[in-house]
Every structure is written in C-alpha cells, then in structure tokens.
Structure 1
C-alpha cells in the first residue's frame, strides 16, 4: 500500500488549475511626473496632488469580512530614474507608535508598519517588497514561492517617515536599477499591507483571506502604467571592501595574528530581469553569530545560512527539496576555516515563464585537515506551469582540484567528486488553498551505485477553518549530498496532520482549535518501525495577538546506532534498544504591542532509558523605543537517567542588547553561555551606514571557558564597505 502513495500524490499534482487572478478588479493607475519630488514625508508636490489614490483597505485581522477601521491612502508615480511611493497612515487614539527599533528589516508583527508587495512580472510567484515602520526603519526583500520574503536582500533606495498628530507618512524613491522587471510590461501585480498594534488591525488594499500572509502574490491587485516603465539602462555596481584585524588563540597558545585583507563584489544587470553577481576573496566577518542550542538530538543540527552572497536571490537553489532533504546547502561552502577564492552567480528571470539560477564557487586548500581545494557548481532552471505552479531541475557538482588521495598520506581521504541531480514540481493553486511539492533526487559518488536516490512529496489544503496535509519521504542508505543537508539516510517517513479552527464572533479569543500530527519512520531494509511521534496540540490566538498552545505527545524510538542521550560522551545506549515515553507541554507568547514582551515554554515527560526530562525556555524583551532593545533568552534542561549518566542539567543563556542611535547607526552586543559545550561567547558589532548600502563595521568576538574562567580566543575586525554604481 505504501508504494502507491507517491504515485497518488504525484497524480494529484498534475491536475490543471485555474489561471484566473483573484483580485483583478483592484487597479491603481500610475502616471509619469514631470515635476521634481523631494523625499521628505510632506504631501505638497504637484505630482502627489494629481496621483491616483489607493484607499478603502480591507481588514485581514482580526476579521477578513469587513473594511479596515483605520484609513490608509497610497499614491505612486515615477520618472526616468525612480519609482515613487507615498503613504498616509492615519491613526486613532493617544500614545506612542509601537516599534521595536530603527533596525532595518524589522519583525512584521512587532511594529506599526506599512509594506509594499510588488510582482513586476505579474506571475504571482516572485517579486520585491519595500516598506518601513512608524519610526522610519526600512524593510526590503526578495519575494519567492508566491508569498515568502527573503530579507537578506539589501539594495540602494531612500525613504523618510514623518510623524503628524493624526498620521504617519512614509515616502520612498526606489531606483529602477534596484529592481528587476520585464521590459515593455504595463501591468504589475501589487498589494499594500499595514499593521497597527494599538488597534491590533492588519489590513490590505486588495483583500487577502486571513489564513494567508498579506504578502501572498495570489491576491495582488494591479498597478497599471500609462506607458511601459523606463529601461533601467546600464547597471553595474562595484562593492569593494578593506579590513584589518587582530586575533589570538590563548587555548592553543599561538602567536597573535594580524589580518589585512581586501576583496570585491560586483553586480551586473545582464538584462532588466537577469543579474550576474561576482565575488573575489569575499569576507563575512560582520555576519550575526549562530544562535546556539542545547543538542540532545541524534542527528546533525541545522543552522541557517546568514552570508548575504549566498542568500540574495538564492531561493531557487537553497529551497530545492525539503527541510530535511536539501541537495544544496550553502553552508557547506567556505566555513570552518576554508577560504573562498572567488565565485559567480547568474540568477533571475528569462521571461515570465522561465527562471534561471547558476552559481560557481571555488575554495582553497585547508592545510590542517588536508581538505583539498574544491569547485562547487550548482545550476537550476524553473518553468512556470498552470497559474502559479512550477517545474524545476537542479544539478550540483562538487569537484576536488588537483587532488590525489594516495599522495595525502596520514590525512583523511575525501571523495574526488560528488554530484546530485533532481526534479521538483511545486504546486500552488490560484487561490492558494492547495499547495504541495513532489521531488526526486539522484546522487553520484565514487563507489556508491545502489540505493542512492531520494524521493519526497507533500500535499496541503488550507482554508479558513481546516488545514489538512500529508507528507512522505524516502532517502536511500547510499544517497550522498555532500553539498546538502540530509541528516538521516536509509528510511521511509510518513507525516499526516490535520488542524481545525473555530472563530468566536466576540470575546477575547480570535481563534482556537486542535491539531493532530503523527510522524512514522521505517527502516529502509526490513521496513520496520524505528521512530514514531504522535502529538495533539490545542492552540488559542487572542485578539491582542498573544498565543497559547498546550500539547501532549507519545514518542517511540528504536536506536539504529549507539547514542549518548546527554551528548557529553559519557556512555552510549545500545543499537536496537527501544524507548517509549509520554510528554506534556505548553507555550505562551505575550501580546506584541507591549513594551515588555515575553515567551514562555515548558515540557515534562519521559526520556531515553526510562529516564525523565524537564525543559523550560524563557524569552524576555524590553524596548525603549525606538532606540534600545534588550532581550534575554534562557533555556534549562534537567535530565534524570540511570547510571552511568545520572542526573544532568544544562543551562543555555543569551542576553542581547540592540542600540539603534539612528536608522544608520547600530550597535549589537550578544553573549551566549552554553553549559553543554562549556563555552561563553561574546560578540559585539558596531555598524555605521554612512551612505546607502555602504557600511563601516567594527566586530569584536571573545570565547571563554567559564569554569575556571579562562580566555580561549578573541578577535577584533574593522571592515569598510563601499557601494558605487558605474
């Protein structure tokens, strides 16, 4: 029976879908201005007086069946170089605007804000987002998968927010060179979204059902141009950097190292919708450090990519597959002391239906481990089918350069090459109620020729009251994705889930309802059960947007390899041993409009070897808006096990300080104490955005051994980045 499931799901995916656009009647006409505009948040220019107004917003939350309570007026115009936007966000009542800080790319739900979602190909799949919060912090990102926003994208544009007694005005100028669009097209998909925390109202110009984000491109209206937008013209940007640094490893008692380095990135607009990115000797020293976790898992943990070169327009490559079956994971390139020599990426739209992504990176040799110099190539092409679905192909090649294993005596032997090829179909119905994915992958590695493929599929139905989904996965025991993230092999997995929501007409509760999920994992060979977790959750969303979840679960695990349940190296449970336990838990997140916010979670239940585990997690935050934000996270695990492990406790504590003196001057201090790793990490970063997209960074990092207190290593880096257009 299980063999038929992939076939049934794939048959569902190829059903044709309606191509009708949901909000086609919503139109905003945009006309070219011949008078100059000053970006100052003042509505006094002639161009704004003549511009059409998008008003009469629709409420999305708390209800999506009425007009918005707050008034929002949007105007747009353009000239030969810029697309202009002016928004009047009217307010009610006394009290300050609610914002986190002046930091760029803020959290949507924790700020009074306005966002623009733009689909310049009108394909309801990819686009751009721009916006600001009520204090003037900018938001910008690339849109993908029909409604997700990648905030790592950072480009040159200007904006101002000006506050008045009854409204706040957001005015922006977006260069045509900043965005990508099809030449000659005169209709773009567009929508506007506003979030107001005092009234807890989220609204949109073109109506969006409340089960979907307002970023959903399936529900955009239309921006109608009076003439085709002007060609962006030659668009080449050079972004050089120079840095100096000093570091010392006290643990290894090495000499102080001095660092002087330079590199350059380049962005070349091949066409108005296709971009070439180049990098030589890139540096990522200013990137946020990873948020540590207490590791009680049997498999490799996932840490997200934060380096901007790999993130910008990278969704076509990095999002291929599933969260636990990624054939390409960019963190495999250039981390752990491996230098990146150079790289190139060509990405964007070939036309409305075809999308392309090609990346090539080369790393140098790491002398300590003998890891050879390597070349990484990944190529993906995507074809839109039906209204919003697409079919994609990916190829990944990792090749060692000038590497002869027999000559590397005394060092680990690495594969000369590893390759992966895959097909993927992404389903998205015109109204977004049906979504899904089907995927097939094959790996090629010297010495491995059977059970070297992977398959997965899922189908999800989401309405206002029901969410029903099915997902299954198969990964062969010899499937090998050396440039991917596949923590587990040799298994078949099934994961159905169902959720039902109730919406009271009045009262303090916005929605509530149960969710049932069950995950079953079977061994590839004997098809015997090795893992099973079934969870029943009841969730409550209050009208003030605070949330409460209570849940209970049953877990069964049959170990296929020895495992230390504390991950401290004390001893290991035997292969084949079986473990079963029950757990209860609760999670609460406070309302976001308070200056003091908090999130609390706890779980208690059984654990391996008839043991017990208590886990609590606390997230506290206070903001002196808009300049200072203080946060503290504290995670505690207490594990009771028989000997030789005994009782073990782990603390993971992370205070964080964010100071945004202006919207161009930032300071972040972040400390993490990890009791499991016996390490204390301090990371501070000062950033001055002295010109649009040009920065000065000063980054200081310390690692300590807490008991006894001892400095393990420390480093200081000063980095200057300058962006200029040719």
Structure 2
C-alpha cells in the first residue's frame, strides 16, 4: 500500500496537543462553586407563568453575570430562577426583569427561534456533568419554545424535538417563563445526584446577554465548560418505563407536468418507536418513515467547483446526531445521513444512541432502503457503529465504522464501501484550547492505496487572541460512500490569526484584525490553489457589525469547470487563475423591528474576468405574530467568450405567521436565475398536543420565463406522540 503525505503542521499539532493535555488531566470544573440546590415539591405545580405558593419554598439563584457587551460586572437587568421536581417532571420558573414597561422584542411565536433576534431565557442541562453534551430548553418573551440537544461542549442542535410544556406571562416590569420537562424527555444516569447547569438571558433592549454562572465573553453562554452545579436533595427519580410510539398517517397528490404523467395519489402510514433501554440509552425504530413536512433547503447561486453541503433536518437522524454527523471536519464527513434515502425509499431503520455512563457514549445505526427507480440502483443497507470515550477534563476519543452494502438479488457481489476511523478531540477544562486528531481509511472494491485521511488542528481562543492551525491529507482513492467529502487527493494547510481590541468608551464595543488562509497542495505537495483573507471586524455597542475584507485567490483547475455553472464549455484541466476581491458587509442591530444585512464584493474571476456580488437581507416583524424576511443576491460575471457577460438573481421572500405558539403558517418562495427555477413551499403546522402535529404542505417548481409549472405536490400529514 503506497500513500504520500508530508511531515506537516498537522502532525506537529498532534504532538503539541498531547503534551499540553498532560497539564489538563486533573483540571477542576471552573464554576463548581456555583451551586443550585433543588428540592422536591410538596405541592402540585401548574404551568401558567404565575409564581404561586408552590414556588415559595424553592431556592432562588443569585444575581446573573453580564456576558455581553462586557464580562466584568453583574447584569443590569436581573433574572431569578427557581427549580423543583416531582416524580414525573423537572420544573423551572424564571423571572426576567425588564427596564420599564417597554414592549419585548421577539421575531414571532415560532418554535426554535434565532437566539440573537429575541428576548429569551434558556437553560443548559448536563445530566452527567461531563461538560461535553446535554440538553437545552427555553422560550422567548412571547412564549415560543426552544429545545435542542447539546454537543461538542457548547453547540445546540435545534432540530431535535421532544415532549414538554411551558408558559410565558408578561407583566409591566418583567416576564415569567415556567416549564415542566418530563424526566422521560431527557437522558440521564440513574444514581447521579449532581448535574451541570447554567441559565442564560438575552435582553435586546439593553443589548445585554447574561448568565447565572459566569462565562467569558468569547464563549457562548451554552458553553458547558462553565456550568454550575445542580445539587439534588435526593437522587433524581427513575423515569420508569419510557416507551413512545409516534405513528403518522399521510395523504398526498402530485403531478409532474414535464414528464407529462398522470396525477399520482399517495396514501402512507408508518411511524417511529422510542424505547428507553435505560434512563440514558435510547433505542429508536422507524418503519416507512416520511419527511414531507421538513423545511425546504435554502437555495444558493452555485459558483463552486465542488458539491455543496445542505444540513440534515429529518427527525429520525437527529437525537445524539453528533455521534454520527460530527466525526471529522466540515469538508471531511465519513458519514452524512442525507445520503440515505436520497433517491430511494427508506423501508425501516434502527438507532441505538446515548450514554453508557459518564465517560462512554455509543451510537449504532442500521437503515435499509428499497431499490431506486430514479437512478436504477439496487436496495442498500447502511450500517454505522460509533463509540466515544471521554478522557481527561473534557476531551474524548472516538471510533467509527461505516458500511454501505447493496442488497437484494439485483445487487453486484462487490458493491460495498466501508470506512473505519478514529479521532481524538481535545477540549481543555476552561475551553481556551481545543483541537482534533483524525485518521480514516476507506475500503472500496478496485481501489487500493492512497485511501487514507489524516488531519488535525489546534485552536487557542481567548478574549483578545484567536490562533488556529489545521492540516488535512485526503488520498486520491479515499471514498466515503455515505459521506460528504467533496474533494480528494490533496493536502491542505489552514492558519488563522485574530487580534481583538476593546475600547473603554464610544460606540465601538470591539474591533479586530483577522488573517486567514487555505492552501491546497496535491499529494506530492505541489500547490494547486489557495485563498487568503485579511479582514477588519467591528462590533458596535448596539450589536450591529461591520466587516471589510480583502481576498487573494489562486486556482489551478484539477477538473474541467464551467465558471458560470450553467452547462457551457468547461475550462480545461491545468487552467491557472489569479485574482483579488474586496468585500464589505454591514449587519444591522438585531433589536430593531426592521433589520437588514448589506454586502457587496468586487474583484477578478476566471480567465481574467471580473465578478460583482451584492447580497441583501431584509426583515420586518409585526411582533409577535408575523415575521417577514427577504434574502436576495445578485452576481454579475464578465468573462471572455464563449462565456460573455452573465448575471444571476436569487430572491427568496419568506413569511412566518404564528397565530399562537401552536399554530404556524410559513410561505417560502425562491427564484433562482442560475437554474431558471421558481420554488414555492407553503406549510401549515398545528401542534394540537405537545410533540403531536397536523401538517398541510404544498410545493411546486416552475420555470420563470415563459412561466410553466414543472411539478406540484400537496401533502396532508398527521402525527401523534404517545407515551406508554
């Protein structure tokens, strides 16, 4: 087996990371001294946003710390939190005081809102106090719910959805959030009496973000490295039998006008089953799943030489999804669940995910699809095993095995692809130092050698400095049949350096200079392309931002490429291109009813041409019921023949109407001039019970000129979440 990769910075980073870890092994939790003692409730709790007598005996948190705009004092708008529990639920009440009776700031009543555009309160729960993963719940000031799973020590996946109840009530000087979170809805280890916890508050009128346990301003308040401790007066109750059945029934109609086929009627039933094998280990089963209610992807003008990435939104793949989806890097994902069922129906699937104990996490998945008529492919079986072991303070070692196998009588005997990999994720106890070491090997019939991935990075993140260095090697024969690896046969080096400054007065909160580069080389370490960016970043005290960038780009084509991506004659392999670009972007303050983003870029392009890009985003909220947004971009390319002058518009107006926090209407229209398509998606969601929904979804695609409908579809879907 022959493969070539250099003695690169990635290997130096790996050695450096290992040596630095020796000093972090016994590090204590930063905010262990911040403790909230929770006691069992002696009276029933009613979820109505009112602090009644049942809450009087619960402890109250101490005053919150300011995180933004500065992290050197207590918050000026205070928040008090009380918690209690009974045999079935964990209860939380947050009193969010305001300055005067001014109206709160929210986008709408829609679930899983944008953090920065809403007055909100959130709780981050780490049941194992491992500071790596957990759960988040909360609401904005109008009562819209937020929930998600936490991973990588401070990120939140809002696609996760579970069963819980809450209420928000507004008063002249405050708003109160009250919630009941069933123990069945979270995963925790029986017998653990201390959990990690932190509370976060965002107040747009004062532009202030705060937290109960202090968090340095360079980190999100979700950072689990800075949680305090939730101390139980007695061990949390056993969640008991935890089985949820989630059936669905669907009726739909569609018609393809381009293929000139008749109207197709659809009737489907199926569903999911969730079985809590232990309080922290969950088994998910699905039969004939349907994802027609999932939000459509946001289209983009594609001037990229490689495949674009669109995130997973399907519910079955999301709980503990980081175990599978975050192995590797953004451009090296050996497993990408959107490959499953892309052009073929999913017949059934099984997932076992969760924690074995404080240090071990496991994920096992098996999915069977049917044969595909669209691409004339046989049925496929997808199997994934991943295992993660926490080491030292907050780091972990992960292992992954992936198998894709054609099944059925029509499947060739050697139609398989397998990947095996291991990674070490570094996270220091105070989160200042993070990094990764990664190795993956693929097994594909007919391909031997040059089938490895070796990568690593190290990052130092403080208030004033950010330093980052990454190295990647991907062999030319490396194949991820169920992954997202848009490019192979390269070495990549990516450095970044940022210096922040914090004026003591004036309208500027912070400003800084950033230099970053991506250098690509072939397997013999000969340069193929690079992009370097020098940027000046400014954040104003009202949270609006301004960025000015200068970009230097060099590309030697390794594959033929049409620079307009419209099917014209491609430029040949070996074509060399070098150009510079200037880019300016301004993002308005998030607390205004009218918000906007404006960005303009001008510079060179392929074949000594030039490109002008203008991006705009406009938003207006008639809070809390209506939120209107328009995303648009314009690209103007000037190139020599045979390409000539080409321009593309991309316009995407979206309207969210939230009659209540249980009834949502969304209309999303996207016009993409590059592919000459108008996409319309209209969606109604009625959450008639917690985690149970009724959907009506309409979608179509049309050509803009002359206007002609390509296809249409209408789906009516019912789901019900039943806990046994």
Equivalences for 1:385-404 in 2 at 5 Å? 385-404=391-410
CA–CA distance in structure 2, aligned partners of residues 4 and 256 of structure 1: 59
CA–CA distance in structure 1, aligned partners of residues 514 and 247 of structure 2: 51
CA–CA distance in structure 1, aligned partners of residues 41 and 144 of structure 2: 27
Cα RMSD over matched residues?
Answer: 1.1
Equivalences for 1:94-243 in 2 at 5 Å? 94-243=101-250
Contact conserved, 1:55 with 1:71, CA < 8 A, in 2?
no
CA–CA distance in structure 2, aligned partners of residues 671 and 85 of structure 1: 39
Equivalences for 1:243-254 in 2 at 5 Å? 243-254=250-261
Instruction: Give the aligned partner of residue 454 of structure 1.
Output: 453
Contact conserved, 1:403 with 1:416, CA < 8 A, in 2?
no
Instruction: Give the aligned partner of residue 606 of structure 2.
Output: 608
Contact conserved, 2:379 with 2:411, CA < 8 A, in 1?
no
3-state SS, counterpart of residue 574 of structure 1: coil
Instruction: Give the aligned partner of residue 380 of structure 1.
Output: 386
Q: CA deviation at 1:404?
A: 4.9
3-state SS, counterpart of residue 270 of structure 1: strand
CA displacement, residues 653-677 of structure 1 (integer Å, 9 cap, x when unaligned): 1010100000000000000001110
3-state SS, counterpart of residue 278 of structure 2: coil
Equivalences for 1:72-83 in 2 at 5 Å? 72-83=79-90
Q: In the alignment, is residue 3 of structure 1 matched against residue 3 of structure 2? A: no
Contact conserved, 1:601 with 1:617, CA < 8 A, in 2?
yes
Instruction: Give the aligned partner of residue 566 of structure 2.
Output: 568
Instruction: Give the aligned partner of residue 363 of structure 2.
Output: 357
**TM-score, length basis structure 1:** 0.98
3-state SS, counterpart of residue 125 of structure 1: coil
CA–CA distance in structure 1, aligned partners of residues 78 and 309 of structure 2: 43
CA displacement, residues 140-173 of structure 1 (integer Å, 9 cap, x when unaligned): 1111111011111111111110001110001111
Instruction: Give the aligned partner of residue 547 of structure 1.
Output: 545
Equivalences for 1:313-712 in 2 at 5 Å? 313-336=320-343, 338-404=344-410, 416-524=415-523, 526-712=524-710
Q: CA deviation at 1:519?
A: 1.2
CA–CA distance in structure 2, aligned partners of residues 271 and 574 of structure 1: 58
Q: CA deviation at 1:44?
A: 1.5
Give the length in aligned residue pairs: 716
- CA change 1:187–1:39 in 2 (3 A) is same
Q: CA deviation at 1:312?
A: 2.0
CA–CA distance in structure 1, aligned partners of residues 501 and 430 of structure 2: 21
CA–CA distance in structure 2, aligned partners of residues 459 and 382 of structure 1: 20
3-state SS, counterpart of residue 501 of structure 1: strand
Instruction: Give the aligned partner of residue 411 of structure 1.
Output: none
Which is further off, 299-308 or 397-406? 397-406
3-state SS, counterpart of residue 74 of structure 2: coil
Q: In the alignment, is residue 25 of structure 1 matched against residue 24 of structure 2? A: no
CA–CA distance in structure 1, aligned partners of residues 582 and 346 of structure 2: 46
CA displacement, residues 587-646 of structure 1 (integer Å, 9 cap, x when unaligned): 111000000000111110000000000000100000000000111111100000001110
**TM-score, length basis structure 2:** 0.98
Which is further off, 258-267 or 300-309? 300-309
3-state SS, counterpart of residue 602 of structure 1: strand
CA–CA distance in structure 1, aligned partners of residues 100 and 612 of structure 2: 45
CA–CA distance in structure 2, aligned partners of residues 536 and 364 of structure 1: 49
Q: CA deviation at 1:34?
A: 1.9
Consecutive unaligned residues in structure 2, runs of 5 or more: none
CA–CA distance in structure 1, aligned partners of residues 409 and 443 of structure 2: 18
State the 4+ residue runs in structure 1 displaced beyond 6 angstroms. Answer: none
Contact conserved, 1:683 with 1:699, CA < 8 A, in 2?
yes
CA displacement, residues 691-715 of structure 1 (integer Å, 9 cap, x when unaligned): 1100000000011111111011000
CA–CA distance in structure 2, aligned partners of residues 368 and 386 of structure 1: 49
Contact conserved, 1:58 with 1:68, CA < 8 A, in 2?
yes
Contact conserved, 2:497 with 2:514, CA < 8 A, in 1?
yes
Contact conserved, 2:110 with 2:144, CA < 8 A, in 1?
yes
Contact conserved, 2:538 with 2:545, CA < 8 A, in 1?
yes
Contact conserved, 2:10 with 2:472, CA < 8 A, in 1?
no
Q: CA deviation at 1:403?
A: 4.9
Q: CA deviation at 1:198?
A: 0.2
Contact conserved, 2:144 with 2:661, CA < 8 A, in 1?
yes
3-state SS, counterpart of residue 45 of structure 2: coil
Q: CA deviation at 1:2?
A: 4.6
Instruction: Give the aligned partner of residue 85 of structure 1.
Output: 92
